Amino acid sequence: MMKKMIIVVLACLLIFLLGCKGKNIDIPDPNDEKNSEHVENPDEIAEKIKSMTIEEKIGQLVMIGIEGEKADENIKEMIESRHAGGIILFSGNIKSADQTLELLNNLKDLNRGNIPLFLGLDEEGGRVTRLSKEFVKIPSMEEVGNKNDKDYSFRIGEALGTRVKSLGFNIDFAPVMDINSNYKNPVIGDRSFGDNPKIVIEQGAQVMSGIKSTGVISVVKHFPGHGDTKVDSHKKLPVVDKTFEEIDNFELLPFKKSIEEGVDGIMIAHILFPKIDGENPASFSYTIINDILREKLNYRGVIITDDMTMGAVMNNYDIGEASVKSLKAGSDIILVCHGYENEHKVLDTIKEAVESGDIKEEDIDKKLYRILKLKEKYVNDERINEVNIEDINRKTRDILSYDR
């Protein structure tokens, strides 16, 4: 009897295996960046890329800023004709929650039928907040770091993600993962979780995860580390005289943790590390972006530059040439926050580089794959009709009064 049962079981197993073979089931390679738990059928992305014009492809590689509180003819052109892939807003674009909601809905309408837009802002808490004062103030990350409570940090991330998503944003350029190790630092300061690497690593990862949990992309910054600078890169080009071994054991630690925790986006800083790359700032250094971030740290997500219109770039380099160098170095998205002439120049220079063969179209397609995969995970163009600020503020107050 036992022998008969074994034969039946083996026969059933053989039929199952043959059936699987007939269906040609493939097991994805988890190390292949084309495979992701978030993409049901990666081939759909590949087919989409094949159908795109070169202008549409290039547009997805650029995220732009706008002027004023309404969608004007310039932004209409950037979306409809130049195919800009994303838009970042600042305080000057934001007057109130209702106005912001209307602006984002209008931007989505202008882009209707195309690949949905990245819609982002810097909502860090503390002194770097872009939203209107209708929202309850969230403490600085230094205050969060001082509390040194992982659950609290996660909930702070939730609060940040909830408020930006309520208006229709899908990217928050936060948190800052810089270790504030230089007391003369004019730009990081209390934006950092502190000068203790362990606290920055642990609490930063929790805030990042909290933002992600709300369905908002968290882009951590400013790789490979802006904490040991004496110059504000908004004005000048900072120089950090450290070797790779030094930053590997200090500045890179919070970013390594972010990557381990599945961060979706990393922003590259405009900082020169002459002992690592004597010619190029991090934002367009092949050594830093490709060799260190991609290869040594094994990061496979989206890489975006800091704003290319900052003084560190504009006062030292041609913005178009710098943008091309950044893409060739391994970045995926060029951030151009100010000046429509700058945005057009970046797009035009990238197109010229593709047409001349300086940038290969297959390299653009690899960047697009990462970008579209991330958009599929988080981004849609659905209009949001109203926002309940009272409810959001109540939940935020509950978090701020939290005491374990």
pLDDT tens digits along 151-197: 999 999 999 999 999 999 999 999 999 999 998 888 899 999 999 99
CA atoms of 46 and 343, how far apart (whole Å): 27
Alpha-carbon torsion, ordered 221, 225, 227, 232, to 10 deg: -70
DSSP type of residue 125: B
Is position 29 within any domain?
Answer: no
| Residue 80 belongs to a domain | yes
Cα–Cα dist 341/236, whole Å = 21
Write out pLDDT tens, residues 65-79.
999 999 999 999 999
Residue 61: inside a domain, yes or no?
A: yes
User: Which pLDDT belongs to residue 403?
Assistant: 60
Cα maximum dimension of the chain? 86
- Looking at residue 250, which CATH number applies to its domain? 3.20.20.300
Domain around 246: 42-398
Q: Is 9 among the domain residues?
A: no
Q: Can you give the C-alpha Rg of the chain in angstroms?
A: 23
Q: What is the DSSP string of 313-357?
A: HHTTS-HHHHHHHHHHHT-SBEEE-S-HHHHHHHHHHHHHHHHHT
d(CA 333, CA 191): 24
* Cα–Cα distance, 140 to 308 (Å, whole number): 26
Residue 234 is assigned to a structural domain of this protein: yes
The H or E element spanning position 151 is: helix 150-167
Residues of the chain with pLDDT under 50: 1-40
Name 246's Cβ contacts closer than 8 Å, sequence gap at least 6.
none
Q: Which two tokens stand for residue 138?
A: 């969230």
CB atoms within 10 A of CB 228: 22
> Residue 198: in which H helix or E strand, if any?
helix 197-213
Strand partners, 118: 86
360 occurs within a structural domain: yes
In Å, how far from its chain's centre is CA 5?
Answer: 57
189 DSSP 8-state letter: G
Is 270 among the catalytic positions?
A: no
Candidate list 149, 172, 190, 306, residue with the active-site label: 306
SS3 (DSSP) at 15: helix
Answer whether 0.95 is exceeded by the pTM.
no
Query: Between the CA of residue 9 and those of 3, 13, 22, 23, what are the distances in Å?
Result: 10, 6, 20, 21
37 lies in some domain: no
How deeply is 162 buried, as exposed, middle or buried, from its count of CB atoms within 10 A (0-12, 13-18, 19+)?
Answer: buried
Is 234 considered catalytic here? yes
Q: How many residues are listed for the chain in this entry?
A: 404
From the candidates 98, 195, 232, 234, which is the catalytic residue?
A: 234
Return the closest-CA partner of residue 150 out of 200, 89, 214, 220. 200
Q: Which residue type sits at 43?
A: D
pLDDT (0 to 100) of residue 14: 41
Q: How many CB atoms lie within 10 A of CB 241?
A: 10
Number of domains within the chain: 1
> Token pair of 206, please?
């929790």
In this prediction, residue 305 carries a pLDDT of 98
Q: Establish if 404 belongs to a structural domain.
A: no
Q: Is the Cβ–Cβ distance between 87 and 108 less than 8 Å?
A: no
Closest CA to 251 of 302, 176, 142: 176
Backbone angles phi, psi at 222, to 5 degrees: -120, 100
- Show contacts of 318-324: CB within 8 Å, 24+ apart: 319/345, 319/346, 320/345, 320/346, 320/348, 320/349, 320/350, 321/349, 322/283, 322/284, 323/284, 323/349, 323/350, 324/349, 324/350, 324/353, 324/358, 324/359
